[in-house]
Each structure stands twice: as C-alpha cells, then as structure tokens.
C-alpha cells in the first residue's frame, strides 16, 4: 500500500505566477477540513488527469508546517519533460478539483542538529521554505545559501530575505556569484547538519566537499527527485498478475503498472526512496535504470528495477508483480 493510494480531494485555491518559469499552486481540502500535518522537507504527490493519461508527480510542500488549512507547492515548467509540469502550468486553474497524496518526508530536518545549513539550487528552494519556517519557530540557528541562474529566476528570494534577513544569502550565476563550498563547509560549528536540494552536480559537489573536509556522513542530507524520463514505448510482462502491459513514451513504468490495477509500492516516484524496488524475473535487453537507489553492481546484475524512473529496451522484460 502506498501513500498515494489514499488520495485527498482538494480544490485549487490559488495559482500564482512567481516568474516566467515557476508557478505556485495552493490547495484546500474540498470540505474545508484541515489537511494532514507535515514537517519541513515533506512532499506530496499530485495526481494529474491529462486527457486520459493519469500522471502523478511529487512536489515539495513549501507552505508553513504550522498552518494546515492549505498546502502550497511550486512547479517549474519543463517543456522537454513528460508533460506533468506543462499540465500544471497550462491546465490547472483556481477552483479546479484535484487529488493529492498525504505528505511523506524523505528530507526532514535532523532535530539533533545545533545548526541547520541549507544549500538550494533553483527550484530546490521549495523544501527549504517550509524547513526555515520550522527551524525559525524551533529557535535552532539556520542559514540558507541559495544559488540561481539569474535574479529573475531566483524564486521567492526577496520574500525570504524579508522574512529571514541575514540567515539568507543568494548567489546568481549571471552576476558571477557562486557559493564557495570549501569555505562555507570549513566554517561550521560542531553539530551542524547540511542539507542540499538542487541539480545533481550541486548535490555531488556538496557531498564530496563535506566528506573531504571530514564531515560525518550522518550530518549530510540531500534530496534529489528525478523526473521519470521520456523514451520509446516498451512491453512488460507482470508475472504474478499474468498480464502484459505497454509503457507509453511519456508514461513511467510505475504509472503503467498502476494503470493496469496491479498493486505496487511507491513513495517518492523519483528514484530516491527505494519503495518501488521490484524483482526482475527475466530480462532480455537493456534496463535504463536512471535511479539513485540501486548500486552499480545491482544494476549490472539486471535482477532489480525501480519502476518509477527506469525504462527498458529489448526483447522481453518480466517483473515479479
């Protein structure tokens, strides 16, 4: 059973154009009920009914964990993706009814920390907005370092600077500014935890720099949801269900399994949590794994697959589902 099996009916209460590529969506329960409690860093899965295709994308909650009358997420438009963000940008309007999952947190603050150091790249800012609200209320010191391509793309920068003042530093590529990770990570008091959310390269740089400076791995946290990539359609045999399914070009294997009514676990839908890990019964061809859950050896063995982000090319793929 997955969190996204118990969907909450919501109404879109507000849509705000934050900048040319980012929109904020706000949701209220259709009955006006309180929404489930969550902590900073949590995400929800939004179900999109796009002309016959059912898509579910995870988005970090950015609203205050202390206010439960509505949720807010921000969506960055990606025209080369599978169409989820495009659907949100083009089709979703205030008043529309949608379904969302209850929040799940794979990126929570470590409450033992003496200080929280947050590093955001681009749209990776969203989980930190809720986390800062939480850290601020808990009275634990925090610092946000936010890198964006340009001033105009640095969503929420002004409002964050207003709310959190000196706790926030911004760096814009087009101004020639960048975070000096070596200096930043060399100057943190004992007991600091670092959190990073942004592009893959940024996460890798933070993790590598921290470890080379001697930071314990348990003090380094990152979140990187992958968008399921588009590709050629392919066939899959589900051994337990005894059926064949087709995964469409812009559909993920997970979505195709769900559409067939076959039960499957999942949580992040982005190759990060490990919930959807499935045994491969037979594989004659190549699995494009795409996740960051399995290790190199497991991938090469072709005995496991993460249906939320993986694709297949070849003659036959049979899964233990």
Partner 1 sequence: MSDSLIEESILSRPTYGTLKIVPGLAHYFLADASGAECIIRDVQELPRDMMEKVHILYVPTPGEAALITSLYALGAKRFEHFPTIEEAVAKLGEWLSDAKMGSQLYLAGTEGLVGQGVAKGEECGLDHTAVQCEHRGSLARRVQCVHCKTMIEDVTTQPVKCPTCDLLLLVRDHYSRRLAAFQGVCINAEDPTEEIEIKEVFK
Contact between 192 and partner 1 by CB under 8 A: the answer reads yes
- CA distance linking residue 247 with residue 274, whole number of Å: 21
Compose the 101-120 pattern: x for residues touching partner 1 by CB under 8 A, - for all others: -------------x------
CB atoms within 10 A of CB 182: 12
| Closest-CA residue to 167 (of 129, 210, 121, 209) | 129
The answer to whether 15 and 25 have CB atoms below 8 angstroms apart is yes
Cβ atoms of 181 and 209 within 8 Å: the answer is: yes
Distance, CA of 213 to CA of 206 (rounded, Å)? 11
Say how far apart CA 54 and CA 291 lie, in whole Å: 22
73 touches ligand FES by CB under 6 A: no
Binding segment for partner 1 (CB under 8 A), chosen from 13-21, 45-53, 161-169, 189-197, is: 189-197
Closer by beta carbon to ligand FES, 256 or else 276: 276
DSSP labels, 226-291: PPPPP---EEEEETTTTEEEEE-TTS-HHHHHHHTT-----SSSSSSS-TT-EEEEEEEEEEE---
Is residue 264 within 8 Å of residue 301, measured between CB atoms?
Answer: no
| Residue whose CB is less far from partner 1, 191 or 233 | 191
Tell whether residue 213 is a contact of partner 1 (CB under 8 A): yes
Considering just the CA atoms, what is the radius of gyration of the chain in Å? 20
* # binding residues, partner 1 (CB under 8 A): 19
Between strands 234-238 and 243-247, the pairing is: antiparallel
Q: Which of 20, 52, 165, 216 binds partner 1 (CB under 8 A)?
A: 216
269 binds partner 1 (CB under 8 A): no
With CB under 8 A as the contact rule, the residue among 14, 159, 186, 246 that binds partner 1 is 186
Residues 237-266 that bind ligand FES (CB under 6 A): 266
| Bridging pattern class, strands 71-76 and 22-29 | antiparallel
Q: Interaction with partner 1 in 126-185: which residues (CB under 8 A)?
A: 185
Shortest gap between Cβ of 139 and partner 1 (angstroms)? 17
Kindly state the DSSP code that residue 307 receives in the 8-state scheme. Answer: T
The residue behind tokens 């921290």 is 210
- Rank residues 19 and 265 by Cβ distance to ligand FES and give the closer one: 265
**Closest distance between ligand FES and the C-beta of residue 245, in Å?**
17
Residue 308 touching ligand FES (CB under 6 A) = yes
Tell me which of ligand FES, partner 1, none is bound by residue 215, counting a contact when its beta carbon lies within the kind-specific cut-off of 5 to 8 angstroms. Answer: partner 1
- Nearest distance in Å: CB 277, ligand FES: 7
* 267-306 residues near ligand FES, rule: CB under 6 A: 267-269, 271-276, 291, 293, 306
Nearer to ligand FES, 26 or 255 (CB): 255
Contacts 24+ apart (CB under 8 A), 204-210: 205/181, 206/119, 206/181, 209/181, 209/182, 209/185, 210/185
Positions 3 through 32 that interact with partner 1 (CB under 8 A): none
Q: What is the largest CA-CA distance in the chain?
A: 59
Q: How far is the CB of 203 from partner 1 (least distance, A)?
A: 18
Nearer to ligand FES, 46 or 306 (CB): 306
Check residue 59 for interaction with ligand FES (CB under 6 A). Answer: no
CB nearer to partner 1: pick between 32 and 216: 216
Site of interaction with ligand FES (CB under 6 A): 266-269, 271-276, 291, 293, 306, 308
Site of interaction with partner 1 (CB under 8 A): 114, 185-192, 210-219
């Amino acid at each position: 059973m997955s969190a996204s099996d118990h969907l909450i009916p919501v109404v879109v209460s507000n849509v705000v154009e934050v900048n040319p590529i980012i929109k904020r969506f706000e949701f209220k329960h259709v009955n006006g009920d309180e929404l489930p409690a969550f902590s900073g860093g949590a995400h929800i899965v939004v179900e999109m009914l796009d002309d016959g295709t059912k898509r579910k994308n995870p988005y970090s909650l950015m609203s205050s964990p202390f206010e439960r009358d509505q949720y807010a997420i921000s969506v960055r438009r990606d025209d080369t993706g599978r169409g989820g963000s495009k659907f949100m940008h083009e089709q979703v309007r205030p008043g529309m009814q949608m379904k969302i999952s209850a929040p799940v947190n794979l990126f929570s603050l470590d409450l033992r920390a003496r200080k929280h150091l947050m590093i955001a790249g681009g749209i990776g800012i969203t989980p930190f907005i809720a986390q800062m609200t939480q850290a601020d209320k808990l009275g634990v010191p925090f610092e946000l370092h936010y890198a964006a391509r340009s001033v105009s793309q640095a969503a929420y920068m002004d409002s964050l600077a207003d709310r959190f003042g000196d706790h926030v530093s911004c760096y814009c590529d087009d101004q020639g500014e960048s975070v000096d990770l070596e200096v930043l990570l060399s100057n943190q008091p004992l007991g600091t935890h670092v959190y990073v959310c942004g592009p893959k390269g940024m996460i890798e740089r933070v993790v590598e720099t921290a470890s080379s400076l001697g930071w314990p791995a348990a003090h380094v946290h990152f979140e990187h949801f992958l968008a399921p990539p588009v590709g050629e359609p392919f066939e899959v045999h589900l051994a337990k269900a005894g059926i064949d399914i087709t995964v469409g070009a812009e559909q993920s294997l997970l979505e195709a399994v769900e559409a067939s009514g076959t039960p499957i676990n999942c949580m992040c839908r982005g190759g990060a949590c490990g919930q959807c890990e499935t045994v491969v019964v037979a594989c004659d061809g190549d699995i494009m794994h795409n996740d960051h859950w399995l290790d190199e050896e497991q991938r090469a063995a072709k005995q496991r697959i993460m249906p939320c982000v993986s694709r297949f090319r070849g003659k036959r793929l049979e899964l233990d589902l």
